[in-house]
Structure 1
Amino acid sequence: MLRLLREATGLIAFVRTVQTGSFSAAARSLGATPSSISKSISRLERLLGVHLFRRSTRLLAMTQEGEAFYDKIMPLLEQIDSSAETVQSYRAPAGHLRASLPSELGRMILEPIFTEFVPMYPEISLSVGMTDRHVDLLRENYDVAFRVGQVEQAGLMCKTLSHLDMTLVASPSFLRKHGDIESLGQLKNIPFARYVADGKPYPIGFVDGGSILPSGRIDLDSATAIRDAALSGVGAAHLIKRTVQDDLDRGLLVELLPHVKLQTVPFQAVHASGRLPSFRLQLFTDFIATLMRSSARE
């Protein structure tokens, strides 16, 4: 047992390589070099007397022995890692957090993060990415990603923080050109600035379970770009209502079919499966959850 504990570096390198899928990605997340990761794992393999990975120029896959070893060692390392978290609540929370926020909704969240969370926890530092792209938490070394919509990627733990109301909008200039929209049939025949993820357009869902796949005038991968397209009159748009409420109040956008109830979408905090959230991450997630709930009541 003591021999294995002396290879703690190899154990960590092995687990992180499994999680990230490559020596290079594991090295980036650990602040090491790919060669040092490979050498650490090789020393561990010699100690165990088995190959943990099948290596080739194009493939890095676990052997049967590697899978069995990972299943045993991963929970133990997590328990060791989480033991520090049990005492963190007795001191001021500190450390670094790397978070990903969706573009347009994130724009609304940033101000209270700056004015409330940062002053409240001066020992916590933040790196914040703003994108609607579904980041790879392990490969890109994110502690948490806040995402709109369902998360279908395996190996992730999700916590729903709120459900967001959606709306259909268009600019006054768009309506002057295409006429007032008074039925779902008309909705199917007008051009949209569509949200597209992984090459697939996002459907418009209704509370009754039905849906419409809008016809595309222009396809975009961020809510900010879709809002801009709607404001310019390029197309109608299906957006989170709170992100365009100010535009609606100012008359820059008009709500289409306000009597039709649209399906809400979940707003979720996502972190890698097998990683217990740190105390600072719990504080940050709880802050965002409280913020979303309070803004929903306004």
Structure 2
Amino acid sequence: MSSLLNHSASLVAFVRAVEAGSFSAAARNAGTTPSAISKGIGRLEAELGTKLFRRSTRTLSLTPDGRAFFDRVAPLLRGIEDSADAVRPSDDARGRLRVSMPSDLGRLLMPRIAAAFLARHKALELDLVLMDRHVDVIGEGYDVVFRVGDSIESELKTRVLAQLDMVLVASPSFLEEWGDPGSIDELRDVPILRYLWRGRSLPVTFADGSTVVPQGRVGLDTGFGLRAAALSGMGIAFLMKCTVQDDLDRGDLVQVMKKHRLPARPLHAMHAYGRLTPARVRLFSDFIAREMLSSAGSRGRQG
């Protein structure tokens, strides 16, 4: 191991080449040349006495020894980088940031993420996965995830960024055909789009405790899909108000059941770093909190 410590630059070159998919891409990210990356990995292979890559003119893939070595070395290098990032006083996000957030929230925030956050933090690589499924933060290697609703994962550090207003919406054409329900009993008699979560349809719960289980013909597993279906006149959708505010302002969607209050839901930022939070995680979470605070249908940044 002591001899390997003399090859720290080669270790970094190896990990970067695997993550980038090629020597040339790794060189661009590191501000060096493909030849320097290749030579560094060659020295590392000579020290280890084994080949780490299968090289061809078109592809670059790991050997079994290379995969085993990467699986052990990459987390160590990331841990060193994260620890340095956490204690370095900086307002600049750098490195690779792997994020998961709900699909429709991502659609809403994407323009501002590109125009404001990425434009300011030039040294950051952002891997943004948009899905409503709850990912395994540690097992799937996420830096931070954003979730709407109650938090149940006590092993993660959780911060409430905002309280999001919820709303029931439908298209004008749908309401013309089915009518605008004025009571909870009337709501039960019209098609409500089913939000599918782990194979079951989630209920709509009002502030007074009344519950309606959607019985519409169409079920979808993302907020993005629910919004699209509502715009197409397929049923009433239960969504975050901030994600459909523009549709409401244009008249493409109409809010229904206005007199029946729906409880707000918290937006959480969650990660597994403990107190040593990398700057890229902290700065991105701060950015999302500010953006949500300024969005219609979002209020009360907390924590």
Q: Is the 8 A contact 1:162 1:267 kept in 2?
A: yes
Counterpart for residue 159 of structure 2: 159
- The CA distance in 1 between the partners of 2:209 and 2:273, in whole Å, is 30
Amino acid corresponding to residue 289 of structure 1 in structure 2 = A
Q: Is the 8 A contact 1:161 1:268 kept in 2?
A: yes
1:245-284 alignment, distance < 5 Å: 245-272=245-272, 274=274, 276-284=276-284
Q: Deviations over 1:144-183 (max 9, x none)?
A: 1111222334532221110111111111222222222111
Counterpart for residue 33 of structure 1: 67
Q: Is the 8 A contact 1:160 1:269 kept in 2?
A: yes
Q: Deviations over 1:25-65 (max 9, x none)?
A: xxx9xx96358869x9xxxxxxxxxxxxxxxxxxxxxxxxx
**Greater Cα offset, 108-117 or 212-221:** 212-221
- The CA distance in 1 between the partners of 2:215 and 2:149, in whole Å, is 20
Amino acid corresponding to residue 279 of structure 1 in structure 2 = A
- The CA distance in 1 between the partners of 2:91 and 2:184, in whole Å, is 57
**Shift in Å, 1:80:** 7.7
Amino acid corresponding to residue 192 of structure 1 in structure 2 = I
Q: Deviations over 1:55-102 (max 9, x none)?
A: xxxxxxxxxxxxxxxxxxxxxxxx988752454215844211111121
Amino acid corresponding to residue 229 of structure 1 in structure 2 = A
Counterpart for residue 116 of structure 1: 116
Counterpart for residue 219 of structure 1: 219
1:189-204 alignment, distance < 5 Å: 189-204=189-204
Q: CA distance change for structure 1 residues 178 and 90 in 2, over 3 Å: closer, same or farther?
A: closer
Counterpart for residue 58 of structure 1: none
> How many positions carry a matched residue from both structures?
234
**Greater Cα offset, 227-236 or 288-297:** 288-297
Uncovered stretches (5+) of structure 2, i.e. residues with no partner: 6-61, 74-78
1:180 aligns with 2:176: no
Report runs of 4+ in structure 1 exceeding 3 Å deviation: 34-38, 79-83, 90-93, 273-276
Counterpart for residue 132 of structure 2: 132
**Shift in Å, 1:103:** 0.9
- The CA distance in 2 between the partners of 1:265 and 1:91, in whole Å, is 30
- The CA distance in 2 between the partners of 1:199 and 1:278, in whole Å, is 36
Q: Is the 8 A contact 2:92 2:279 kept in 1?
A: no
Q: Sequence identity of aligned pairs in percent?
A: 43
Q: Is the 8 A contact 2:86 2:278 kept in 1?
A: no
Amino acid corresponding to residue 287 of structure 1 in structure 2 = F
- The CA distance in 2 between the partners of 1:205 and 1:214, in whole Å, is 11
**Shift in Å, 1:106:** 1.0
- The CA distance in 2 between the partners of 1:91 and 1:190, in whole Å, is 51
Q: Is the 8 A contact 1:157 1:270 kept in 2?
A: yes
Counterpart for residue 239 of structure 2: 239
Aligned CA-pair RMSD: 3.1
- The CA distance in 1 between the partners of 2:240 and 2:92, in whole Å, is 36
Uncovered stretches (5+) of structure 1, i.e. residues with no partner: 7-27, 41-78
Q: Output the TM-score relative to the length of structure 2.
A: 0.68
- The CA distance in 2 between the partners of 1:122 and 1:275, in whole Å, is 25
Q: Deviations over 1:212-241 (max 9, x none)?
A: 222232111111111111111211111111
- The CA distance in 1 between the partners of 2:158 and 2:91, in whole Å, is 27
Q: Output the TM-score relative to the length of structure 1.
A: 0.69
**Shift in Å, 1:121:** 1.6
Q: Is the 8 A contact 1:155 1:273 kept in 2?
A: no
Counterpart for residue 145 of structure 1: 145
Counterpart for residue 106 of structure 2: 106
Q: CA distance change for structure 1 residues 285 and 235 in 2, over 3 Å: closer, same or farther?
A: same
**Greater Cα offset, 206-215 or 252-261:** 206-215
Q: Is the 8 A contact 2:100 2:142 kept in 1?
A: yes
1:54-93 alignment, distance < 5 Å: 84-85=84-85, 87-90=87-90, 92-93=92-93
Q: Deviations over 1:88-142 (max 9, x none)?
A: 2158442111111211111111111111111222122211111112122222211
**Shift in Å, 1:193:** 1.1
- The CA distance in 2 between the partners of 1:175 and 1:290, in whole Å, is 35
